Chains A and B, each alone.
Chain A
Amino acid sequence: DAGITQSPRHKVTETGTPVTLRCHQTENHRYMYWYRQDPGHGLRLIHYSYGVKDTDKGEVSDGYSVSRSKTEDFLLTLESATSSQTSVYFCATSSDRVRETQYFGPGTRLLVL
């Protein structure tokens, strides 16, 4: 357990509105990740960060942006939410990019109407 919290835990929003999800960790892990989980797809990487202000795209990054201004916080923004972005979003952290495992937060359930 890497002391990962996500906020909000649940959110309902309307199509076209911006949404920001927050991930906060207390373990000083360098690497942070955002995933989405959908039935039949497992978990898919949206964006990740390998340090403060250093981010890169994952496999499903369209429509999402991220920011990391502090080691402990990684924000995911849906610039204009669409119904296809209804999903459960998980944040994860790791201390090493390859060797160490990733620890997951409790998730944020997002519904876009």
Chain B
Amino acid sequence: GQQLNQSPQSMFIQEGEDVSMNCTSSSIFNTWLWYKQDPGEGPVLLIALYKAGELTSNGRLTAQFGITRKDSFLNISASIPSDVGIYFCAGLRAGGTSYGKLTFGQGTILTVHP
């Protein structure tokens, strides 16, 4: 099935550093979502993007919906230890056979060293 290409696959950073990850696709999406998953739990929504070019912030997190509608990125500023987890991008299409079905990236595993 179709997947989003999410990179990097993993990151090891020092506390206080900024983080950047992105997702790309060969297909157009109408909605981009970013989720975070802590160990043993389900994904939790961080940011939702509904419009091409949209830039949205949630505290230290900033995400953008690419102009071409085929990509999105997530930035985390001044990382802290509780940022540790797996970050997933997900795209939602409003038409075709994938209507209403989320497509997920493979995830970025973030490790923050104190």
Contacts and interface: CB of A to CB of B under 8 A. Distances in A.
B33 to A, nearest CB: 6
- Interface size of A as a range: 20 to 34
B45 A97 contact: no
Given A40-B106, A59-B1, A105 B42 contact: yes
B100 interface: yes
Contacts of A59: 1
Interface in A46-73: 48, 50, 58-60
A44 B101 CA distance: 10
Nearest to A59: B1
Contacts of B78: none
B51 to A, nearest CB: 12
Nearest to A4: B42
B105 interface: yes
B31 to A, nearest CB: 7
B42 A44 contact: no
A43 B1 contact: no
Given A98-B31, A99-B50, A42 B104 contact: yes
A20 interface: no
A90 B100 contact: no
Interface in A87-101: 90, 92, 97-99, 101
A45 B42 contact: no
Contacts of B41: 106-107
B76 interface: no
21 contacts: A41-B106, A42-B88, A42-B104, A42-B105, A43-B88, A43-B90, A45-B101, A58-B101, A60-B1, A97-B100, A98-B30, A98-B31, A98-B92, A99-B31, A99-B50, A101-B33, A101-B48, A102-B102, A104-B43, A104-B44, A106-B40
